[in-house]
């Protein structure tokens, strides 16, 4: 599943560790050669990362912006370095792109409340996670009321993943400037908490938007996105057996404990031989009534 989103990454670390450099292309895959991660994170050998797919619709490009902070504990001095490159992937200056960020395994099927694509809060029993979550909420108070915490996840290896939702945006995506501003404010507060030894001082932070094809909660999110096409994965009962199906629908209405869906006028639902003709009367009148508990997963749909 493609799930394009804007991403900002930060690494909190001691100044004794080497500096961070980053480069990415806005039109092609970004390739990274990582330096050693902080000791506490205990990473595997070097590897290659590839960027998330480019934005479509109103999100025409995915921009990656990495920030790195260097804190000198002896001199009580904070130095911040920021680099944003839009290149063809060729090396600059020292001839090599380096980064300390290492993607964690994301092969698990996304679901509602997973702390990632499905939103929600997942702390995984990390001892400093509650403090990091509290700091995340405090940093958000400086921003407009329509920006909310969509997802928050911490990992035992020292990673913090934050996704912000903008209620006034069609897809719920904050602007690049809003994400960058929040990332800097949150990182500053994490730095300060690290100095007070309330949390580790070598955490890694990623702040991003929910993604253009976000997973929706039933029925909470449906009214907000009722005018947009959705990919609906559902269970259809057939006696003692059941079948998992999916389709691209528009929400017709919500009644009691049921959703009523109609076909979305997208390429996937059109007859290949129709040659661009509009839906037939039968297609326009088609409806699917599903109880809430028969919906396996719903996500926004983008037609590529």
> Please, are residues 172 and 59 in contact by the beta-carbon 8 Å criterion?
no
What is the longest distance spanned by two Cα atoms in the chain?
75
Question: 119: alpha, beta or left, given left = phi > 0 and alpha = psi -120 to 50?
Answer: left
Structural domain range at position 26: 7-212
CATH number at residue 292: 2.30.30
Percentage of the chain surpassing pLDDT 90?
54
pLDDT digits (tens, 9 = 90+) for 251-299: 999 999 999 999 999 999 988 887 778 899 999 999 999 999 999 999 9
- Asked if 133 and 207 sit in the same domain, the reply is yes
User: Hunting for tokens 């909190």 — which residue is that?
Assistant: 12
Residue 230 in any domain: the answer is yes
145: phi then psi, degrees, rounded to nearest 5: -65, -20
Of 279, 282, 179, 296, residue with least CA distance to 234? 296
pLDDT band at 211 (very low <50, low <70, confident <90, very high): confident
DSSP state of 210: -
Kindly report the backbone phi and psi dihedral angles of residue 175, in degrees, each rounded to the nearest multiple of 5, phi listed first: -70, 165
d(CA 269, CA 249): 9
**Within-domain flag for 2:** no
pLDDT the model gives residue 56: 29
User: Of 166, 192, 212, which one is at a domain's C-terminal end?
Assistant: 212
The 10s digit of each residue's pLDDT in 71-118 is 333 333 333 333 332 223 333 333 333 346 676 656 678 889 999 989
Name the band, by pLDDT with cuts 50, 70 and 90, for residue 173.
Answer: very high
User: C-alpha angle with apex 236: 230 to 237, nearest 5 degrees?
Assistant: 160
Q: Which two tokens stand for residue 195?
A: 């100095």
Single out the residue in 157, 185, 212 at which a domain terminates.
Answer: 212
Same domain, 42 and 178: yes
Question: Is residue 174 domain-shared with residue 272, that is, in the same domain?
Answer: no
**Predicted confidence band of residue 194 (pLDDT cuts 50, 70, 90):** very high
- 130 & 221 share domain: no
Rounded to an integer, what distance in angstroms lies between the CA atom of residue 201 and that of residue 187?
A: 11
Is the pTM higher than 0.75? no
């Amino acid at each position: 599943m493609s799930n394009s989103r804007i991403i900002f990454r930060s690494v909190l670390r001691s100044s004794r560790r080497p500096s961070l450099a980053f480069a990415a292309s806005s039109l092609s895959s970004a390739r990274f050669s990582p330096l050693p991660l902080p000791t506490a994170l205990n990473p595997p050998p070097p590897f290659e990362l590839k960027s998330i797919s480019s934005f479509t619709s109103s999100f025409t490009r995915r921009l990656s912006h990495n920030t790195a902070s260097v804190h000198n504990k002896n001199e009580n001095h904070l130095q911040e370095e920021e680099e944003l490159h839009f290149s063809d992937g060729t090396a600059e200056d020292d001839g090599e792109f380096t980064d300390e960020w290492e993607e964690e395994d994301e092969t698990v099927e996304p679901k509602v409340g997973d702390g990632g694509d499905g939103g929600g809060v997942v702390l995984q029993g990390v001892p400093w996670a509650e403090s990091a979550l509290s700091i995340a909420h405090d940093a958000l108070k400086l921003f407009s009321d329509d920006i909310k915490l969509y997802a928050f996840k911490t990992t035992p290896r020292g990673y913090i993943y934050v996704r912000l939702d903008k209620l006034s945006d069609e897809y719920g995506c904050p602007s690049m400037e809003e994400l960058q501003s929040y990332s800097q404010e949150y990182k500053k507060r994490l730095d300060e908490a690290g100095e007070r030894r309330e949390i580790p001082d070598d955490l890694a932070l990623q702040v991003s938007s929910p993604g253009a094809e976000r997973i929706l909660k039933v029925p909470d999110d449906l009214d907000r996105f009722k005018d947009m096409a959705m990919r609906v994965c559902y269970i259809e009962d057939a006696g003692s057996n059941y079948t998992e199906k999916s389709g691209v629908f528009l929400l017709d209405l919500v009644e009691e404990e049921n959703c009523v869906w109609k076909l979305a006028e997208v390429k996937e639902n059109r007859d290949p031989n129709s040659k661009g003709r509009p839906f037939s009367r039968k297609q326009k009148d088609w409806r699917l009534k599903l109880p809430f508990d028969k919906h396996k997963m719903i996500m926004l749909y983008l037609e590529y």
